[in-house]
Amino acid sequence: MSRQNWTDVNGIKLNNEVLASLQAQGLVIVMGEDGYPWVAYLPRVCPSCDITHCGHPRPPRRWMWLHHFAWDFYAARGLRPERKEGDVIHHQRGDKLDARIKRLGRGNPTSHARAHNAKKRLHSPRERHDLGGLRYRPPQPARVVDRPELVGLPAPVAKPPSRVPTFRERVLGVEWKLAKRVETLWGEMKGLDSGEFIPRTTAKSQWRDSKTRKLGLKMPRYCCTEGEAAFVLLLIRHGFDLERVAQDVGEPVELLAPLYQRPSVNVALQRWREHRRLPAFAPMTWQERKP
């Protein structure tokens, strides 16, 4: 039978060679607040009287972690690679009190974190929260509150807050509101249309040219939607006064101002000023109906 080459010192597992080295150097093992065993030494000078020979108790001073000491012990003898700055000595079984060399491994912080994350994913909560042999304590249940006066009453239902519409959605709502009046406005103002021929400014073939497509340019929509046509008709009726149009529609001016920036509205207003033609309109496409 093979002889056991490690010793259990107050629950701390340690190789016999490392323990002999600690005893030869006069070092002791203390437990730290982080749950790791530390290698400590007794100071030669008394912290109370500043002399070396006295009877006062001297608390040990921590020097380094025990698993680092064990790794350096075998690295100095060529049995393990040297521990460089930034390296992490990992407890392969997750037991902080096991400093045997066969249970230690060297790696970088990334691999060390990956090893601990893999343990969280693979093991059960009892093994996951087992801190080096300490007792596992499951989470405590919630505190039960006895409220007999609430028995039989319906539970209040929390209503989620209503979503605030965006500015584009508000403009689209105003456009739909104007679209409902386009037929009425057109019937009242169709007598103002001169019927004059409007010459074509740019041929469609130029927009379909390969050079134009390479520039990423697309032919703008010159035909107004129903809401845009109603907006143009109201501008003509009120003498291009946007405030009077907003008062007629019942909406603020800032929601009608974006309609002024659309190419189709500008073309319709230009055709009215130059040729006295009322705007042509068509229903909105499904792309334009998106908020």
Domain edges within the chain: 6-128, 167-282
- Determine the pLDDT at residue 247: 92
The token duo for 31 is 């437990």
CA distances from 158 to 148, 153, 155, 161 (A): 22, 15, 9, 9
C-alpha distances (whole Å) from 203 to each of 90, 207, 223 are: 75, 7, 15
Residue-wise pLDDT tens digits, 29-83? 888 888 888 888 877 777 667 676 676 676 777 788 898 999 999 999 888 888 8
Angle (CA) 223 227 233, round 5°: 80
Q: State whether residue 281 is helix, strand or coil.
A: strand
By C-alpha distance, which of 77, 71, 64 is closest to 90? 71
Q: Which residues pair with 30 in a beta bridge?
A: 38
CA atoms of 126 and 135, how far apart (whole Å): 9
Contacts of 234 (CB under 8 A, 6+ apart): 178, 185, 245, 248, 249
> Rounded to the nearest 5 degrees, what angle is found at the Cα of 128, between the Cα atoms of 122 and 133?
130
pLDDT value for 116: 75
Q: What pTM, to 2 d.p., does this model score?
A: 0.42
Give tens-digit pLDDT for 138-163. 666 666 656 666 666 666 666 778 88
Residue 66, classified by CB atoms within 10 Å of its CB into exposed (0-12), middle (13-18) or buried (19+), is: buried
Average pLDDT (102-120) is 81
The answer to whether the beta carbons of residues 84 and 71 sit under 8 Å apart is no
Task: Map residue 227 onto helix, strand or coil.
Answer: helix
- 103 SS3 class: helix
Nearest residue to 106 via CA among 71, 79, 65, 69? 71
State the fold for domain 6-128: Homing Intron 3 (I-Ppo) Encoded Endonuclease; Chain A (3.90.75)
- Check if the beta carbon of residue 46 is closer than 8 Å to that of residue 58: yes
3-state secondary structure labels for all residues of 41-63 = ECCCCCCCCCCCCCCCCCCCEEE
The pLDDT, as a whole number, for residue 161 is 81
Percent of the chain scored above 70 by pLDDT? 70
Strand order across the beta sheet in which 37-41 lies: 27-31, 37-41, 61-65
Mean pLDDT score, 167-190: 90
- pLDDT value of residue 1: 43
